[in-house]
Amino acid sequence: MTDLNKYIVIDTQILGGTPVIAGTRIPIERIANLVKQGYDTDTLKEEFPYVGARKMQYIISSLMSVGLNEYEKTQKIQIASR
């Protein structure tokens, strides 16, 4: 979980607690949607050059390991419970 906290932040002061890439206001959901649309790591690096390559690769691999659809379901449940 240490790596997750290092790269993904959930803070009520940032986009109302929406999970974002650490150090940015880029929602993880945005990255998940782009990956579902076929964006690969290189394209995402071009879209978000200020996000480090290691950070972007970790986020993509995390999304893939839990599954994009499962991630989206989890986020909808968390938002509904707020």
**pLDDT tens-digit map of 25-77:** 999 989 988 988 999 888 998 999 999 888 888 888 888 777 666 666 666 55
Q: What is the pTM of this model?
A: 0.73
The domain segmentation of the chain, as residue ranges, is 2-80
- Per-residue pLDDT tens over the stretch 58-68: 888 888 777 66
SS3 at position 24: coil
- In 3D, which of 39, 74, 15, 19 has the Cα closest to residue 7? 19
In angstroms, the CA 26 to CA 51 distance is 10
- Taking residue 51's Cβ as centre, other Cβ atoms within 10 Å add up to 19
Domain 2-80 classified CATH 1.10.10.10? yes
